[in-house]
Amino acid sequence: MSDLPLPHRHFILHKPFGYLSQFIGNPKNKKLLGHLYDFPVGTMAIGRLDQDSEGLLLLTTDGKMSEHVRGRKVEKEYYAQVDGIITPEAIAQLQAGGIEIAHEKQPYFTLPCQARHLNPAPEFPERSRRVRDDRHGPTSWVSIILTEGKNRQVRKMTAAVGFPTLRLIRVRIGEITLGTMASGEVQEASNLTV
């Protein structure tokens, strides 16, 4: 029997709407990541997506990899469907940073980021719960690329500039993209190069 540590394992997941980015604890019988795949003991989500958010989530058994990806050197790109047709002024505000958002009961001012209106809108399958009916007014999509990651940051940023987020999908972390992965799909990766 060898005392050598087992090699670390890494996973790429398209987190569906309605799942918590955690493995333990089950408040009010919520859906957890372990319901999607038989992950090995010690697997952790690298960063989080809230229950209402979808898209790319990396998982690993390597704490150092988790720390690296969560750092400010790795870009995270999100596509946000927002209420209304986003304006050039709102895009400029997002890009400039300095947007005040609440974070852990303290005000936080966002760093400058990359933001652009996505026109035409990206095509994603309908999620399990429809965003809303078209009769409630127009929506538009924006790409936001961050190197920071505060709790519900993208949602707070778009709301602060007057365009609340209706649907949020993370599409890229560093060099890893969501691509054509189906919602709920899990791929094991031999390593994570971000």
* CA–CA dist 194, 186 (Å, integer): 17
* CA–CA dist 190, 194 (Å, integer): 13
Do residues 172 and 178 make contact, with C-beta atoms less than 8 angstroms apart?
A: yes
Helical H segments across 81-179, by residue range = 88-96, 153-160
Does the active-site annotation cover 50?
Answer: yes
Residue 81 neighbours by CB under 8 Å, 6+ apart: 121, 131, 139, 140, 141, 165, 166, 167, 168
Q: Which of 50, 83, 133, 134 is catalytic?
A: 50
Residue 45 neighbours by CB under 8 Å, 6+ apart: 21, 22, 23, 33, 57, 58, 59
Catalytic residues: 50
